[in-house]
C-alpha cells in the first residue's frame, strides 16, 4: 500500500474561531455585532458581576484591547472566550492608535476593556474613543461595574449630585492646591488613591475641606471588601496609625455644609472673631469649615485682616 505524504509546503486551512462563551453551565453562541469600537465594562473584582451582554460582545469582537492581557486573561478563561487579546495601555497607546483606527475604518469590531470596571475612567482608552468618534466610527457602550459608583452607593453619603476627580496629584503642594479648587463644589466628591498615599491624601483633604464626613472603600466586590466611615480627620488618623491598606481604593467625601451665604462684612466679622482666639491659619480653617467657603480664600482674607489689626 502506498503511503501518502503530507505536503509540508502548504499550510492547512485554519479552523474558524469559536465566537461563543460559557455561562451558567451552558455554551452560548454570540450573535454577530456591527463594526465599531465597543466600550465594555468588566468586573472590578468579583468575576460573576459581568453581564451577559459583555460576554457576548467580547466573544463576537474581532479583537479585545486590554490594559494588561495577563489580568484580562482570567476573565476570558473563566467564560471560555477565545477572542485574541491585544495589550493597549499608556506606554503603547500612541503607537497603536493609528493602526487600531485603520482596523476600525476597515470594518472590524474591537472591544476595549480595562483591568477592572468601566473603560475610559482614568485609563488611556479615552483618546482611542475620541479619535474613533472623530473618524466617524461607531462607539457603543456596554455598561456594567464601576468602582466609583459602587463606592458612592455604599458610602452612606449624598448621591443626588457627585463629582468624580480621579487621582489627585502625588505631591503634597499640588494635591492641596487641587483639593482647595474643589472645595466649593456643592456635591459629593469621588477620588481614586494608591494605598501608599492614602493617609497623606486624607490629611490634605481634611486640611483643605474641614471636618466633612467621608468614606474609604477598598477591595470592592471582593472577599475582604471594606467601607470605613468617619470624618476626614478621623480617617486620616486611622490610616496613619494602621499603615497602608491593601487593594484598590476609592475615597468618597461629603458635600460642603449647607450654610447661609455671607456678605463680605459678615465674613470679616466671623474671621475677626476667630482671630481673637486662634492663629491666622487655624482661624481660616475654622471659618472655612463653618461657611463652606474655600479655605484658601478665607486664609487670604484672614491675613489681610490680621495685618490691619497690628
Closest by alpha carbon to 247, among 196, 175, 204, 190? 196
pLDDT score at 283 = 85
27-145: CATH homologous superfamily? Tetrapyrrole methylase, N-terminal domain (3.40.1010.10)
Q: Give the separation between CA 192 and CA 209, rounded to whole angstroms.
A: 17
Helix (H, G, I), strand (E, B), or coil: what is residue 71?
helix
Q: What would the grid cell of residue 242 be?
A: 494602621
pLDDT score at 13 = 44
Residues 55, 151, 252: CA angle, nearest 5 degrees:
145
pLDDT digits (tens, 9 = 90+) for 69-123: 999 999 999 999 999 999 999 999 999 999 999 999 999 999 999 999 999 987 7
| Reported CATH class of domain 148-253 | alpha beta
Please count the other Cβ atoms lying within 10 Å of the Cβ belonging to residue 172: 14
**Of residues 183 and 187, more confidently modeled:** 187
pLDDT digits (tens, 9 = 90+) for 229-280: 999 999 999 999 999 999 999 999 999 876 556 778 888 888 888 888 888 8
Q: What is the mean pLDDT of residues 180-207?
A: 95
Q: What would the grid cell of residue 231 be?
A: 470624618
Which of 45-49, 183-187, 193-197 has the lowest average pLDDT?
A: 183-187
pLDDT over 70 at 7, yes or no: no
Amino acid at each position: 500500500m502506498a503511503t501518502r505524504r503530507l505536503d509540508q509546503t502548504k499550510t492547512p486551512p485554519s479552523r474558524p474561531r469559536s465566537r461563543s462563551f460559557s455561562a451558567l453551565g451552558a455554551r452560548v453562541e454570540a450573535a454577530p455585532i456591527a463594526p465599531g469600537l465597543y466600550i465594555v465594562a468588566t468586573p472590578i473584582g468579583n468575576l460573576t458581576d459581568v453581564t451577559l451582554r459583555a460576554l457576548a460582545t467580547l466573544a463576537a469582537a474581532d479583537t479585545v484591547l486590554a490594559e494588561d492581557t495577563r489580568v484580562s486573561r482570567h476573565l476570558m478563561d473563566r467564560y471560555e472566550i477565545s477572542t485574541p487579546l491585544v495589550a493597549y495601555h499608556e506606554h503603547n497607546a500612541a503607537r497603536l492608535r493609528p493602526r487600531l483606527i485603520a482596523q476600525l475604518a476597515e470594518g472590524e469590531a474591537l472591544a476595549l476593556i480595562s483591568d477592572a470596571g468601566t473603560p475610559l475612567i482614568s485609563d488611556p482608552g479615552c483618546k482611542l474613543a475620541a479619535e474613533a468618534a472623530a473618524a466617524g466610527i461607531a462607539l457603543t457602550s456596554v455598561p456594567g461595574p464601576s468602582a466609583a459608583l459602587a463606592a458612592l452607593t455604599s458610602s452612606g453619603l449624598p448621591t443626588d449630585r457627585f463629582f468624580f476627580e480621579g487621582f489627585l496629584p502625588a505631591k503634597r503642594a499640588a494635591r492641596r492646591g487641587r483639593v482647595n479648587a474643589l472645595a466649593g463644589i456643592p456635591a459629593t466628591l469621588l477620588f481614586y488613591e494608591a494605598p501608599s498615599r492614602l493617609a497623606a491624601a486624607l490629611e490634605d483633604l481634611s486640611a483643605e475641606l474641614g471636618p466633612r464626613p467621608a468614606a474609604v472603600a477598598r477591595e470592592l466586590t471582593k472577599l475582604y471588601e471594606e467601607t470605613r466611615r468617619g470624618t476626614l480627620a478621623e480617617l486620616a488618623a486611622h490610616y496613619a496609625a494602621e499603615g497602608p491598606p491593601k487593594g484598590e481604593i476609592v475615597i468618597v467625601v461629603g458635600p460642603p455644609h449647607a450654610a447661609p451665604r455671607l456678605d463680605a462684612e459678615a465674613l470679616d466679622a466671623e474671621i475677626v472673631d476667630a482671630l481673637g482666639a486662634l492663629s491666622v491659619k487655624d482661624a481660616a480653617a475654622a471659618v472655612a469649615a463653618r461657611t463652606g467657603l474655600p479655605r484658601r480664600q478665607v486664609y487670604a482674607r484672614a491675613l489681610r485682616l490680621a495685618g490691619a489689626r497690628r
